[in-house]
Chains A and B, each alone.
Chain A
Amino acid sequence: MRATALRRSGIALLLGVGLVAIASAVPDNRVLLMNTFLAYGALVLSLDLMVGDLNLLPAGHAAFFGAGGYASVVLNQEAGWPLPLAGGVAIVACALVAAVIGFPVVGRTAGMSFAVVTFAIGELMVQIISKSPELLGGTQGLTVTWGVGDEMPFGFSIYRYYSLWLVAVFVMVMLSVVWVRSSHLGLRLTAIRDDENAARGLGFNPVVYKTLIFAIASGLAAAVGVMWAPMVGYIGPDSMGTTESIFLLSLLIVGGLRSVGGALAGVLLLMVAPLYFELEPTVRIAMVGGALAIIALVEPRGIAGLARRATDRLPVLRRAA
């Protein structure tokens, strides 16, 4: 078990090194694309901790992404804290808030009523932001002034500089996923997912574990938001609504649950590729929808399931694996 975890962490770190190399080498007009992949990849992987490992379907994941961004920007611009400190505090605060909110929610609700409560909480956050124009910018959103006109380290542009931070968050999310899945905690989560009452009978309380995972996943989403807001120089309530959360869920389901490779393939295929070919947003989202509908009918396990089928067909690959 530990050997698996170490091997997978090694792969994640190697991937991180590779991503740093790519981030410093991609041409200037593709840096934003790279950042989009990193941010959405990290969001989808953190979402998978709840969906894949616990069968919880949150409809408010994007709200925590936005909360992280807002918290760090406000701490930086209004309270004057340096950005790294503001970001760190924002991540921890979001995880704690998620734990406090999540404890009664996961304790009382499951299945679709969980989805509706998280949807309502997410929309409440959006409403709070829209109703406080002085501090949070209202529906207009906030403009981030940090780093405008400053020299970035290594002579990078601000987008490229934040690529490095996003790679760090991405690797952190992958490591969290790896360590949760290949540890005793992961076994307990599997037990809770498969039979909650039996898990209770074995002497551990499902509510505690669900709250823990809800807090971790929300904290990771907040970390993405912390890096995203100063990168694009703007954060607004439209990036944290229910539609965005549902879109993240779709990306995850197309990719395949409980599969890091599948989830990332889903993001690459449905988020990055359409942006690369510069399709209009409506066409892009319609394509995601069509792909999701077809994949749901053909292979409910998503891209990961398709890949597994392909490897089963090819004896050469099977021997190698």
Chain B
Amino acid sequence: MSELLLTLLLGIMQAGLYTLVGLGLTITFGVTHILNFAHGEFVTIGAFALIGFSTMVGTAAAIPLALLVAVALGALVYLLGFVFTIGNHLQGLAFSLGLLLFTENIFLELFSSIPRNGPRVDGTLALLGGEQIAWSRVVVIITTAALVTVAAIALKRTWVGLALRATGDDRFAASTLGLSAKRVGLYAFLVAAVLAAVAGMCIASVSPVTPAIGVSYLLTGFVVAIIGGLGSPEGVLMAALLLGIVEALTSRYIDPSMTSVYTYSLMVVVLLALPQGLFNRKVVRAG
């Protein structure tokens, strides 16, 4: 019983991280119709900024500094690059692919591929029935759950959230109401950068990180965004929960080395059955 609870909690932790990455992808795609391959690099930036700043100024000050770096870089790549590619799928895709290859290898040169550890919350929490879960994982679960809730409410209730959804639903209609796609695109990139950077910081506080985490979380983020239906935030959450829990259960109860085989097979089956994703109302085709 307790073993199942622990497995589910670990699955939910992974699902939370996938949701944060996938949400950013789906929001930027919904607004700008750019599939941002460089999105995963914000995860790397968040993780390494946290590690770097926490050795310099302590963890408490490192978190806002890391977020600031991610936001600044997000604004920079959008204003210098992506803003010119709005309206041309292939151009946006090519620019982000280039950015991905460039930044990933720059980070490899800067930080090397030796795994590093971020700041940890010490101690473990006893679950019902004797299993132990590390406090840092509990903190990650709470952080991601809170952030996903905040993001969901913000998308429904705040002005920026309404602007993002309106532009995602119909860019032309939104532009007649004074929401320029270029400006709303900037909001989308900033929100996405913050969500991904928080995911990166969470990852750094539970496991060793290398510059390659960006790409691996980018791929999972794509998977949940596309299985959920591109442009649909609720789809991302459902797909991430599905993926995270399937991963956790198969690695605990069947065979840890076969986890990726199950998840990739699940992806193929879901997409062949529902090519537009779980929650997509309209046909979205990029490319």
Contact = CB atoms under 8 A, between A and B. Distances in A.
Given A119-B219, A289-B100, A300-B91, A112 B271 contact: no
Interface string B267-280: 11001100111000
Contacts of A119: 219, 222
Interface residues of A, number: 45
Given A116-B271, A123-B260, A242 B95 contact: no
B258 A131 contact: yes
Contacts of A294: 98
Contact of A292 (B84, B98, B215, B258): B98
A286 interface: yes
B95 A108 contact: no
A124 B109 contact: no
B215 A289 contact: no
Nearest to A286: B105
A275 B215 CA distance: 24
The SS class assigned to the A binding surface is helix
B79 to A, nearest CB: 12
Contacts of B268: 117, 120-121, 124
Contact of A116 (B90, B101, B226, B287): B226
Contacts of A288: 98, 101
B287 A127 contact: no
B236 to A, nearest CB: 14
A258 to B, nearest CB: 12
Contacts of B227: 116
Contacts of B272: 104-105, 108-109, 117
B35 to A, nearest CB: 6
Chain B facing A: main interface SS: helix
A197 B287 CA distance: 17
A109 B280 CA distance: 14
A242 B97 CA distance: 13
Given A290-B98, A293-B95, A110 B275 contact: yes
B105 A283 contact: yes
B230 interface: yes
Contact of B98 (A117, A123, A250): A250
27 contacts: A105-B272, A108-B272, A112-B222, A112-B230, A112-B287, A113-B226, A116-B222, A116-B223, A116-B267, A116-B271, A120-B268, A121-B268, A124-B264, A131-B261, A243-B215, A246-B100, A250-B94, A253-B97, A282-B109, A283-B105, A285-B105, A286-B105, A288-B98, A289-B105, A293-B99, A295-B94, A296-B85
Interface of B: 35, 37, 81, 84-85, 88, 90-95, 97-106, 108-109, 215, 219, 222-223, 226-227, 230, 257-258, 260-261, 264-265, 267-268, 271-272, 275-277, 284-287
